[in-house]
Amino acid sequence: MRSIRADTRPADLSIRQLRYFVAVAEAGHFRRAAERLHISQPPLTQRIQAMERDLGVQLFTRTGHRIELTEAGRMVLAEAQATLAQVNRVRDAARRAQNGETGHLRISIVHSVPFIPSFTHAMKVFQRDYPGVTLDLVHRGSIEGIDDLRQRRLDICVTRREAVPLPGLRQITLEKDRLMLVLPADHPRASADRVGLSDFAGERFVVFPSDKKTSLHGQIMNLWARAEMSPYVGLEAENVFTVLAMVAAGFGNAILPGLLRGIQMPNVVWTPIDMDDQWTVSSIVLIYREEEGGVSIQSRFIDHIHRYSEPN
């Protein structure tokens, strides 16, 4: 048995050394391993000898052209194979991240968005195609969402606003929504086909707080201004779910986007407002940053929106 003198320095094994060692161990022959690695045999032999010196152990016993792993070699082989498998996983993770196949996508939405069937279909297909991507969904108003998008705290903002140009940002119109009156089921006008706001003078309304500077709040107040009226505020509620619950309980009426009918709150009726469509219709838009470069998670998501959500 030949003597192996350990290098006094800590072993600093390279990935290439481990690959060469595993190739020799699996082939059981230096020449065949060299052919598999597409190198000549002498450099391969030198690499294995250097690895043995670094580790201070003999990895193979050699009898002529025949080689076998020593007990130490068998232990090193198991660890080398595990290390190379981990290296391959790291490389695969880096490749998938570079190709936009893994990571996190931060998306802000408004309450109406989950009730847009084409958009939710596009999201489901995206998650099926890219299971390594986590979609982080948060609720943001229009102003806050666009600001977070500009500050790169978000990747995509889906909100309610008119699709007017925004510097440095691009937009896709996903849906045209319509504001409607929400009435308790026992309201005298609950069965009407269309009703004007003037029919509700003096009646209590459940509204969002006046300090909520959202596009939806602004559009609702604009309707009242067009009717040359102000709503009689009976209650204020922070979110659409509370608004609907208060209407169902008979505390007042409300004006909300028609998409929210998907919540299916009992004891409420949705009625069209008798007013020109240009004032009652609003857009749900997807906004994202204009970016140069290769494929990213964001670009893959936007591609799915174009392909599967059939935006307007």
Residue for token pair 């838009």: 285
Q: pLDDT 10s digit of each residue in the chain, 312 long? A: 455 555 545 557 888 889 999 999 888 888 888 989 999 999 888 999 899 888 989 999 887 767 889 999 999 999 999 998 888 888 877 776 666 666 889 999 998 999 999 899 999 999 999 888 899 999 888 888 999 999 999 999 999 988 788 898 999 999 999 999 999 999 999 999 999 999 999 999 999 887 766 788 888 999 999 999 999 999 999 889 999 999 999 999 999 999 999 998 999 999 999 999 989 998 999 999 987 655 688 888 999 999 887 544
Cα distances (Å, whole numbers) of residue 33 to 39, 55, 61, 80 = 9, 21, 16, 16
Residues near 304 by beta carbon (within 8 Å), at least 6 away in sequence = 122, 123, 125, 126, 129
Q: What is the structure's pLDDT at 161?
A: 86
pLDDT, residue 310, reads 59
Please count the CA atoms within 13 angstroms of the CA of 210 that sit on its side-chain side. Answer: 5
In whole angstroms, give the CA distance from residue 55 to residue 302: 52
pLDDT at res. 4: 54
Residue 139: count of CB within 10 angstroms of its CB: 12
Q: What is the pLDDT of residue 3?
A: 52
**pLDDT for position 5:** 54
Find the helix packing angle between 41-55 and 15-27, rounded to 10°: 110
Domains of the chain in sequence order: 15-98 (1.10.10.10), 103-175+283-308 (3.40.190.10), 177-282 (3.40.190.10)
